[in-house]
Structure 1
Amino acid sequence: MKFNKIFIAAFLTAVSILNAQNKQVTLEEIWGGEFRQEYLQSLRSLNNGKEYAVRNYDRATGAMNVDVYSYETGEKTRTLISSANISNLDFFQDYTLSEDESKVLLSNNLKSIYRRSSVGDYYAYSFETKKIQKIAEQQIQEPTFSPDASKVAYVYKNNIYVKDLTSGETNQITTDGKENFIINGVTDWVYEEEFAFVRAFDWNKTGNKIAFLRFDETEVPEFSMDMYGTYGKQLYPTQSVFKYPKAGEKNSKVSLHLYDLQSGNTSKINLEKAYEYIPRIEWTNDENVLSVQAMNRHQNNLDLIFVDVEKNNQMVVLNETDEAYIDITNDLTFLNDNSFIWTSEKDGWNHIYHYNKKGKLLDQVTKGDWDVTHYYGFDPNTGRIYYQSTENGSINRDVFSIRANGKNKAQLTQKRGTNSADFSADFTYFINTYSSATTPNEYTLRLAKNGKNVREIKDNKALLNKLKPYNFSKKEFSTLSVNGNDLNMWIIKPKDFDSTKKYPLLMYQYSGPGSQSVSNTFNGSNDYWYQLLAQQGYIVACVDGRGTGYKGAKFKKVTQNELGKYEVEDQIEAAKILGARDYIDADRIGIWGWSFGGFMASNCIFQGNDTFSMAIAVAPVTSWRFYDSIYTERYMTTPQENASGYDDNSPINHVQGLKGDFLLVHGGGDDNVHVQNTMQMVEALIQANKQFDWAIYPDKNHGIYGGNTRLHLYTKMTNFIKENL
């Protein structure tokens, strides 16, 4: 009897330990932030090259601090600024140091407008006087110090203002700004979304001139969205009305202007050719020479123009053309002699080039069948350029240095996975951020000359310890031969995977041009969701098909003029190949995606109805005729020129193929992919007499989040998968 008690106790203990090592993850944990990583927030190297600053929130006191650390020792040397020590400002959300680090801009009460834009309260704080000034009584956009930190330029209600921090006086530069008509100094909706910038003004090197863009939206069609409010507090809906140029429609008329602070005069700079877009302006190191990137509507012909505003002359120093399109980047960098660094795909891969100030090619700095994925900078003391690339496989990233003449390349990171760098101002050190599929972010200090590890800064071992009881499955990387191409793939199997059994398969993809979903990086929120599904007996896989990025320009641009054709072919064929594996149930294959991925998931179940039995489409584009001009025409030209390319691959035109289970989800306040897309699809499905499930999240934008929204959405999707796959 005693033996039985001991045996039972030991057995229960073993079961308890086993259960503890196989903890089931929940949606509440995933979307409640349980697995959040530690980061270095708002990291900035200081000018002395010896220290760096990081934003830290003190939970005990409720104060926001900007703390300074020594590169060499890792010790905190001082607190640069703390909200606890500033009168009239209890808290700030972020900080921006002036170029000379004599002042700092502090932001608070930030309110999003669109994806990248916001308004907020801004304050300038002087480290010398210890005094704080509010930049404007109103909430403003994009405040930016002059080079000597004596002034701040900003935008309020589509007009540009300059505040003199010494006198306290504010000067209004433009007066014609008007909502939905004229914008000065910040971008319109489509520039912000697709050219990825908001501030459309720039100080010259001496701070006596400001160049800016003006957007005339008068002829751009308006889009409106009904906003319903929450919990019955709003009796009548309101409307959000904004200018949104859809494919083939009129864009804003964009013009270039110059404000001279000494004379107080504003003048228009007339470019010598007519251009549809001006996606970048930036002053060179010559105080009178402005660089302008300008391109045609098809975005396959780009001029880099140097405008001498004193001599009133212009020179096209570089012209780029491409049979498909040219990606705009922020890599243009001017060196001390006004020669410049440029990145281009002109040899079939994205590489670094060095030109003199007249646009003569000095050197192609990098070469090879791999892409430069980030340009970090040039060290004038050593003549070395620092960059990130895919030289060790397209799913990995490493940091390298190389001389400007393309010689003496050195690999500065060694651990296989995703490495990025933040360099000290003098390029003595860099902070290496490393992660992989099995390792959350690790921050180490390294020597820039050879990549030698100096010390550990921060890691996420606490998160790894937290994850141990869940005993998550490994994310397996491989390639899949599909339609003549080796496509990158990851797959997650149940932890108790048995190759003699058959499992349902859920495929995830995004598939948009130049994107990457298969990468050797640590878990995001969706990865934990995939682990949840694996714990419940599903195999989850992701395949990056043709049109995705980091495998050369030819692979990426093969989808030109036919978005959704080759991408859909690859996902259907990949599903068939996986479905032929003994352990996958070919009758239970589902696919899901968001945005472009929702467009794809819809097309896959409609056109691949003998392959996919279930699909979930979140915020999908259902016809490229409904999407914006810059993005869509970059890959498709206009509907007037390419009607078949738009219509042959539109999910709306393939709804008759639906046989399986289909869930359609959209946010009612989506300013990006309008809910119009889903409404048009719903009507097409109804008229085709196809049954489906759908949900609209009121007032939610393209991200569909806020409060319990994400939890609700993923609960709905999880239940739909469990019921139908």
Structure 2
Amino acid sequence: MNKLIILFVLLSQIVFAQTKQMSLEDAVYGRYSYLMPKSINGFVWKNDAVFTQIADSALVAETVKKAERSVVLTLEELNTITGAQLRNFPTYKWLKNGMLQINSANRYAVIDSEQKQVVYQIMLPKAAANAVFCEEGKFVTFTKGDDLYLAFSNGDVKQITTDGGNGIVNGQTVHRNEFGISGGIFTSPKGNYVAFYRKDESMVHDYPLVDFMAREAEYVPVKYPMAGLKSHHVTLGVYNIESGETTFLKTGEPLDHFLTNVAWSPDEKQIYMAELNREQNHMQLNCYAVATGDRMKTLFEEESDKYVEPLYPIQFSKANPNDFYYLSRNDGWFHVYKYNIDGTLLKQITKGEWEVTRIIGFDKDEKNMFVEGTLESPLEKHIYKVQLKSGEVTKLSSTTGIHRGALSPNGTYLADKWNAKEVFGKTDLISSKGTLIRNLFEAEDPLKDYQLGENSLVTLKTADGETDLYGRLIKPVNFDPNKKYPVVVYVYGGPHSQLVNKGWHNGARWWQYYMASQGYLAFTLDNRGTLNRGRDFETAIHRQLGVFETEDQMQGIEYLKSLPYVDTDRIGVHGWSYGGFMTLNLKLKYPEVFKVGVAGGPVVDWSLYEVMYGERYMDTPQENPEGYKTADMTSYVENLEGKLMLIHGVQDETVVMQHSMKFLRECVKQNKQVDFFAYPIHEHNVRGKDRVHLMTKVSQYFFGNL
């Protein structure tokens, strides 16, 4: 009897604790701050026996075998020896020589952590950006304005380029961050050279943006290459630090092709680079001589009747510097291939209808490779060991969820950082055989006091019944199956996205929980064109954006209509960017289904979108006029019924305001009523404290109209 009383009390406490309702402020601010699970902070392998992390304002080391902890360096000690005034321990890494390198703001310091002494510091000017540290050369490459500079450990600063400005940009990202590009500086392995992008966008139209916050509104143009129009020209320069000379690779014509996946040979004599034609259907992996800039050879080519999208540079073998590994979708799925420098394919290492999403690394003798991938399910990511000789795959992560691995230098151990639907965040130490050594960190549930709607995954089929589609449904708080509830569909639907998975809360946004707390069903579906499903699933949308995506989303609607607790007369849809485009597709093509829509930063006309992304999926307007016409949302304004709001950032450089203006003008011409709100000073999305204003506006639009 006493046990039953105790159990009743415990259950009562749990029920009582979970009565807090999620506010809009919680949904907006909390998702990335106080309602985000804590994680192990700054985990880095020092060597194969020791790892470090940041804890209690100090860098702490821990041994793998005995779990012995020791303080490497406190924040107070760091500030004392560097002369900094840091409030938090900064980003750091362990160098090959055992020294500690930290960087914060414009300070780069190399520290002997045992002696607690600074070996050298490099201070960058306040205007420095895009900084890249080179351990071997003891320098930092950075940009200031549109030119490139070197700052050395002896205090010297050298300017590498002098032609920046007036449409010339050096050392920065190019091709609008497509093709896996995230930077424009590539330091050679031994630190003798710096390769860098040089972008000439002088031929690209100055797109008009206006700063309305100035005393007199100011014209602040940006370069925006639109589909089918002139695109910028990119070359790759190689700066020789000893001679002070720059050699540009002779990448030839046409000048508007794409250069990406830059990789140095281990001996610094060659640069390997993926080159893609503007049509994006033919890729060459080319090798260039560093000394002359001449093209030495084309190792291999990839072609497609749709598009080729190189995303990853080659990785040279440490066991044999004449071999390299390449991650490609050549057979329809991202897999690892091994080549030699003559371009001969030695072996396809991984195979099957699953995606390798990342190469983590190799063991000491390079007999095994460690990767992350989707072998279990496209809704999960796991850590795998792949025997290079046989191709045998062994799953090392043991639990359903989203796993990410950090491999020790010799490949003996991994830190497995993972989460799952009800696992808020764990980091486990495992051996390279998959044996759990111990748990390093387990987060507390930041939502434990909140009453949340039931969150479940659903599997549907495409209209032809051939392909699985994955969705997520969140039910209202205090759900009553005998009631009828309105639905808000949250959609994105574009390439490189995946909104539904088996991670924490199945990948849900907290705003969806907020809407559930207000009595709404919240539904999301990943349609064809989205991530981790293979080439055919993604490229089905080629030349006809919005067609198959909308068809798949309507399969989700049919599922919702089959549920007895769905009020089929009260279905709304909201999305941003590609999701704004999809919101318009759904609202305008199925006005009888969607009572309310809120489209944020929507693509209205793909001919107004940029070259690299737009032409990959649609070709040019000249080549595909029917496809562009079909995907132009102004073509469907005549269907507009119910309530629709467009929201746009005034300074948007991704989906320019022209999209919304064109749509609004068509609504006026056809005497269709539509609501519109603009966010001054904001770019493609509304961030910071103003985001609460945005999501209040979105939410209230549904409250008042759905």
Query: Which residue of 233, 257, 279 maps to 1:298?
Result: 279
Give a deviation string over 1:8-48, Cα, whole Å, max 9, x none.
xxxxx9999855433211112223323122123443322x2
The answer as to 2:259 corresponding to 1:270 is no
Structure 2 equivalent of residue 8 of structure 1: none
* 1:75 CA drift (Å): 4.5
Structure 2 equivalent of residue 113 of structure 1: none
Query: Which residue of 113, 123, 142 maps to 2:108?
Result: 123
Please say which of residues 544-553 and 517-526 is displaced more in the overlay: 517-526
Structure 2 equivalent of residue 115 of structure 1: none
Equivalent positions of 1:515-554 (< 5 A) are 515-523=497-505, 527-554=509-536
- State the AA in 1 paired with 2:265: T
Structure 2 equivalent of residue 165 of structure 1: 153
Equivalent positions of 1:54-73 (< 5 A) are 54-55=53-54, 58=57, 65-73=58-66
In structure 2, how many angstroms separate the alpha carbons of the residues matched to 1:323 and 1:57?
A: 55
* 1:86 CA drift (Å): 4.0
Structure 1 equivalent of residue 463 of structure 2: 483
Matched residue of 1:470: which SS? coil
Contact 2:27/2:514, CA 8 A, preserved across alignment: no
Please say which of residues 191-200 and 238-247 is displaced more in the overlay: 191-200
Give a deviation string over 1:303-328, Cα, whole Å, max 9, x none.
11122334755111121112222223
In structure 2, how many angstroms separate the alpha carbons of the residues matched to 1:406 and 1:176?
A: 52
TM-score norm. by structure 2 comes to 0.91
Contact 1:602/1:617, CA 8 A, preserved across alignment: yes
Equivalent positions of 1:294-693 (< 5 A) are 294-310=275-291, 312=294, 314-330=296-312, 332-336=314-318, 337-338=320-321, 339-448=323-432, 450-460=433-443, 462-463=444-445, 466-484=446-464, 485-523=467-505, 527-693=509-675
- State the AA in 2 paired with 1:624: W
Give a deviation string over 1:510-558, Cα, whole Å, max 9, x none.
1002421111111499632222222222111111111112222111101
Give a deviation string over 1:484-520, Cα, whole Å, max 9, x none.
2321111111243333332211111210024211111
Please say which of residues 309-318 and 407-416 is displaced more in the overlay: 309-318
Structure 2 equivalent of residue 114 of structure 1: none
Give a deviation string over 1:389-430, Cα, whole Å, max 9, x none.
111111111111111234332110111111111111211111
Give a deviation string over 1:278-317, Cα, whole Å, max 9, x none.
0222202122121111110022211111223347551111
User: Relative to 1, partners in 2 of residues 1:84 and 1:164: Cα closer, same or farther, differing over 3 Å?
Assistant: closer
User: Relative to 1, partners in 2 of residues 1:635 and 1:617: Cα closer, same or farther, differing over 3 Å?
Assistant: same
User: Relative to 1, partners in 2 of residues 1:344 and 1:382: Cα closer, same or farther, differing over 3 Å?
Assistant: closer
Contact 1:576/1:611, CA 8 A, preserved across alignment: no
In structure 2, how many angstroms separate the alpha carbons of the residues matched to 1:224 and 1:76?
A: 57
Structure 2 equivalent of residue 107 of structure 1: 104
Matched residue of 2:79: which SS? helix
Contact 2:198/2:236, CA 8 A, preserved across alignment: yes
- State the AA in 2 paired with 1:714: M
Query: Which structure 1 segments of 5+ residues have no match?
Result: 1-12, 59-64, 109-120
Structure 2 equivalent of residue 116 of structure 1: none
Structure 2 equivalent of residue 155 of structure 1: 143
- State the AA in 2 paired with 1:84: N
CA RMSD of aligned residues (A): 2.6
Matched residue of 2:500: which SS? coil
In structure 2, how many angstroms separate the alpha carbons of the residues matched to 1:427 and 1:97?
A: 16
Query: Which residue of 194, 205, 208 maps to 2:178?
Result: 194
Contact 1:354/1:404, CA 8 A, preserved across alignment: no
Give a deviation string over 1:77-121, Cα, whole Å, max 9, x none.
33346353244321275345555453525132xxxxxxxxxxxx2
Structure 1 equivalent of residue 83 of structure 2: 88
Please say which of residues 75-84 and 597-606 is displaced more in the overlay: 75-84
User: Relative to 1, partners in 2 of residues 1:32 and 1:513: Cα closer, same or farther, differing over 3 Å?
Assistant: closer
TM-score norm. by structure 1 comes to 0.89
The answer as to 2:39 corresponding to 1:39 is yes
Structure 2 equivalent of residue 183 of structure 1: 169
Matched residue of 1:263: which SS? coil
Contact 1:140/1:155, CA 8 A, preserved across alignment: yes
Structure 2 equivalent of residue 78 of structure 1: 71
Matched residue of 1:678: which SS? helix
Give a deviation string over 1:128-163, Cα, whole Å, max 9, x none.
752663433342122223342422222222222222
Matched residue of 1:562: which SS? coil
* 1:256 CA drift (Å): 2.2
In structure 2, how many angstroms separate the alpha carbons of the residues matched to 1:688 and 1:148?
A: 65
In structure 2, how many angstroms separate the alpha carbons of the residues matched to 1:222 and 1:100?
A: 48
Structure 2 equivalent of residue 118 of structure 1: none
Structure 1 equivalent of residue 129 of structure 2: 141
* 1:655 CA drift (Å): 1.5
- State the AA in 2 paired with 1:37: P
In structure 2, how many angstroms separate the alpha carbons of the residues matched to 1:567 and 1:530?
A: 21
User: Relative to 1, partners in 2 of residues 1:69 and 1:703: Cα closer, same or farther, differing over 3 Å?
Assistant: farther
Structure 2 equivalent of residue 9 of structure 1: none
User: Relative to 1, partners in 2 of residues 1:255 and 1:492: Cα closer, same or farther, differing over 3 Å?
Assistant: same
Give a deviation string over 1:553-591, Cα, whole Å, max 9, x none.
111101101111111122234213421332211111111
Please say which of residues 404-413 and 48-57 is displaced more in the overlay: 48-57
Structure 2 equivalent of residue 5 of structure 1: none
In structure 1, how many angstroms separate the alpha carbons of the residues matched to 2:45 and 2:15?
A: 47
In structure 1, how many angstroms separate the alpha carbons of the residues matched to 2:60 and 2:219?
A: 43
Matched residue of 2:502: which SS? coil
Matched residue of 1:647: which SS? helix
User: Relative to 1, partners in 2 of residues 1:80 and 1:246: Cα closer, same or farther, differing over 3 Å?
Assistant: farther
Give a deviation string over 1:47-91, Cα, whole Å, max 9, x none.
x22233435574xxxxxx544443344444333463532443212
In structure 1, how many angstroms separate the alpha carbons of the residues matched to 2:286 and 2:583?
A: 42
* 1:445 CA drift (Å): 0.9
The answer as to 2:691 corresponding to 1:710 is yes
In structure 1, how many angstroms separate the alpha carbons of the residues matched to 2:220 and 2:61?
A: 43
The answer as to 2:250 corresponding to 1:253 is no
- State the AA in 2 paired with 1:24: Q
Contact 1:70/1:77, CA 8 A, preserved across alignment: no
In structure 2, how many angstroms separate the alpha carbons of the residues matched to 1:16 and 1:94?
A: 41
In structure 1, how many angstroms separate the alpha carbons of the residues matched to 2:683 and 2:69?
A: 40
Contact 1:31/1:525, CA 8 A, preserved across alignment: no
- State the AA in 2 paired with 1:88: G
In structure 1, how many angstroms separate the alpha carbons of the residues matched to 2:478 and 2:615?
A: 47
Query: Which residue of 26, 29, 51 maps to 2:23?
Result: 26
Matched residue of 2:210: which SS? strand
User: Relative to 1, partners in 2 of residues 1:300 and 1:431: Cα closer, same or farther, differing over 3 Å?
Assistant: same
